[in-house]
Amino acid sequence: MIRVGDEATLTRTFTTRDVEDYLSLGGAPMPEGQVPEPLVGALFSYLLGVKVPGPGTNYLKQQTRFLAPVPLAMDLTARVAVTRIRPDKHLVDLETTCHGPDGMLLAEGRALVYVEDVAGKGW
H or E, element range at 101 = none
Residue 107 reports pLDDT greater than 60: yes
Segments forming the whole domain that contains residue 42: 7-121
Of residues 15 and 29, more confidence is placed in: 15
Tell me whether residue 2 is in a domain.
no
Tell me whether residue 11 is in a domain.
yes
Q: How confident is the model at residue 1 (pLDDT cuts 50, 70, 90)?
A: confident
Mean pLDDT of 49-56: 91
Measured distance CA(22)–CA(5) in Å, rounded: 33
CATH number, domain of 71, equals: 3.10.129.10
The β-bridge partners of 35 are none
Q: ∠10-73-11 over CA atoms, to 5°?
A: 5
Residues 6+ apart with CB under 8 A from 60: 91, 112, 113, 114
Peptide bond between residue 36 and the one before it cis (omega within 30 degrees of 0): no
Tell me whether residue 115 is in a domain.
yes
Prediction pTM value: 0.89
Residue 23 reports pLDDT greater than 60: yes
Tell me whether residue 1 is in a domain.
no
Q: In whole numbers, what is the pLDDT of the chain averaged over residues?
A: 91
Measured distance CA(123)–CA(109) in Å, rounded: 24
Mean pLDDT of 108-123: 76
pLDDT at position 28: 85
Residue 123 reports pLDDT greater than 80: no
Mean pLDDT of 83-94: 93
Q: How many structural domains is the chain composed of?
A: 1
pLDDT at position 118: 53
